[in-house]
Structure formats: structure tokens, C-alpha cells
Structure 1
């Protein structure tokens, strides 16, 4: 089991990065907001979860033990695989998911691409009382986000989460109007809120 990874970022993308440790590069899939903060050559520490399937070994990375624990819990829900669990964290975050489950907010869950009303109802039922309470540890990757071509990065991240490119472009444009100088993570958060009808 690979539970923690510290190394140098190589080939960062909208949904993943290669983390080089001791000369070995491991591809790690990440929530979009975290992926957007990583840049080539940056030193990073991640809490990781290795998902084993019959035909693959896939590594997922998170900036806190709390986010990893929520991801692990999401994988216990019937019909929720790693990609959908990552999308839930990308759209709602660990605290947002806790709030949605605690208030039985089905509408919040349906803002995640791939989750309809039936899926949201099932998730609320299966996650009730199971989500970790939250951790006090600080994110391992805390620090100033790296400025890149923010709009393109965020559009790619949103498309990776399941939105159509036209929807993503429109949401990013509206978010950019609200905060012209916003870095990638802030722009992504605002775009997600716009797509979820919360802005």
C-alpha cells in the first residue's frame, strides 16, 4: 500500500501528475483544484490511495488525510468508482460533502456530473453516519498557487469532471468576470459554484 508520496512534480495535467521519487515516476490522479496548483519541478507531498483492480493499479493523491479518508468512504458506496469519487471531491470538497450528507441535500450531490437523483438518494442513504468527522491537519501542499494559463487549465479540469466544453468555457468566462486576477484554484472554485447554481 502506498499511503504517502513526496517528490518532484513532472508532466502536470488537469487531472494528474507524475511524482518522481528516488528516480521513479508514479502517475497520480488528483482532484482538479489540487492538480491546478502543481507545476513542473515543484516539490510536493501527497496522501495517497492505491486502488487495485483486476487489470490495473491506480494511485490517487490528496492534499490532506481528511480528503483521502472521504475518498475511501465514497468508494464504499455502491456504484461509485474512483473517478466519480474524485469528481465528488472536486465539486463539493470534503466539507461540502459532509454538509450535503448531514442536511440530506440531494440537489448538492446532483451538481456532480454523473450523479442523478437516484444516485444522490443512494449516496445519502449509504453515507449517513459514515463520513469521517474531519481532520485538523493542514494541507501538505499549502502555499501560494502557481499562476499558469488559468482559463485553459480550469476548462480542462471541468471537462475532465464531466461537463461539456461549452458549459465549462461559459462558466470560466463568468467566473473570470467576477475576479479577473483570480489564480487557478479560486477560478475553479467559482466556476464550479456557477455550474452548480450557487453563484
Structure 2
């Protein structure tokens, strides 16, 4: 099992970070690869979850050990695969997710792609009281779909700045991006780049 990789952030795509360690390049699928944009070319440590299937071996990567731990716990939920677990971590914090599970907040859980009421109830059933985290109500953000969307938008705006666009350019397209019904950071980035080209 590969617990983590320390190496140079060599490349970033909308789904993965390529990290070079000892002459080997690893493709690591991340919830929000653009979080590493400011670290491009630097030596960084990425916590990894080595997912092995019959037809593939995939490395999933995280900035913090808590995110990796939560990812592994969500994978244990019946009916939730790596794609679903990754979508959860792309759009919320560990604290907010744990709070939603412990408070049985189905409405919040169903804001994630692919999570309906049945899956949300299964998450609560399988995870409540079993997550190795404490949570702070003071740190819980407003658990609404719009808040989740804004979090993704904020990360996308930061990614656009990291790609070389000025604050002024980014602020000019922000109102147009806010009108879109998008929940994923990389989709915001793609739309933002398209607007910049006009």
C-alpha cells in the first residue's frame, strides 16, 4: 500500500496531479487538483489511497491525512464508489461532512452528485458514530447547496488567478459564473477559461 508520495509537482490537469519522485511520475487523482496550482514545480507530500480493482490500479491523493481517512471510510458505504467519495471531498470539508452525518442531515448529503435519499440514509447508517473525527459546530459552514456551490466557485477563481489571470479579469467574469448551476470546481474553471477567450 502506498501511504504517501513526496516529490515534485510536475503537472496538473482538471482531474489529477502528476508528481515526480525518484525519476518516476505518478498520476494521482485528486478531489480538487487546482489546490496544488501554487505548488507547481515544488517538492510536496501527497497522502495517497491505493485503490486496486481487477481491471485497474488507481492512486487517489489528498492534501491532508484526515481527507484520506474520510475517503476510505466513505468507500465502505454500500453503493458508494471512488468517484462518489471523491465528489464529496471535492465539495465539502471533513468537519462539515462529519457534522452532517452525526446530525443526520440528509438534505446536505443529497447535494453531492450521485447521492440520493437512499444513499444519504445509507451513509448515515454506516458512518454515524464510527468516524474517527470530532467536529466543531462553530466551524460548520452553512450547509446548503448554494454554500457548496460557492466553495467550488471560490476555488475555481483562485485556480484562474494561479493560471495567470489578474484579479480584475477574474472579477469581471465572476457574475456570469455565479449564474451557472455548477457544483464542481473543474467545470467552473472550464467555463471561466471559455469566458476569458471571448
For the aligned pair, the TM-score class normalised by the smaller chain equals 0.5 to 0.7
Aligned length: 152
- The farther-off stretch of 12-21 and 35-44 is 35-44
- The aligned residue for residue 178 of structure 2 is 174
Unaligned runs of 5+ in 2: 136-154, 164-172, 180-184, 189-198
Q: Helix, strand or coil: the match of 2:12?
A: coil
- The aligned residue for residue 68 of structure 2 is 68
| TM-score scaled by length of structure 2 | 0.68
Structure 1 or 2: larger helix share? Answer: 2
CA contact (8 A) 1:151 1:172 kept: no
1:1-199 aligned at under 5 Å gives the runs 1-32=1-32, 35-39=33-37, 40-133=40-133, 148-150=159-161, 173-174=177-178
CA contact (8 A) 1:66 1:132 kept: no
What is the CA-CA distance between 1:174 and the residue it aligns to? 2.1
Structure having greater relative contact order (Cα 8 Å, sep ≥ 6): 1
| TM-score scaled by length of structure 1 | 0.68
**CA separation of 1:112 and 1:170: change in aligned 2, threshold 3 A:** farther
Distance in 1 of aligned mates of 2:20 and 2:162: 27
**CA separation of 1:67 and 1:56: change in aligned 2, threshold 3 A:** same
CA contact (8 A) 1:19 1:27 kept: yes
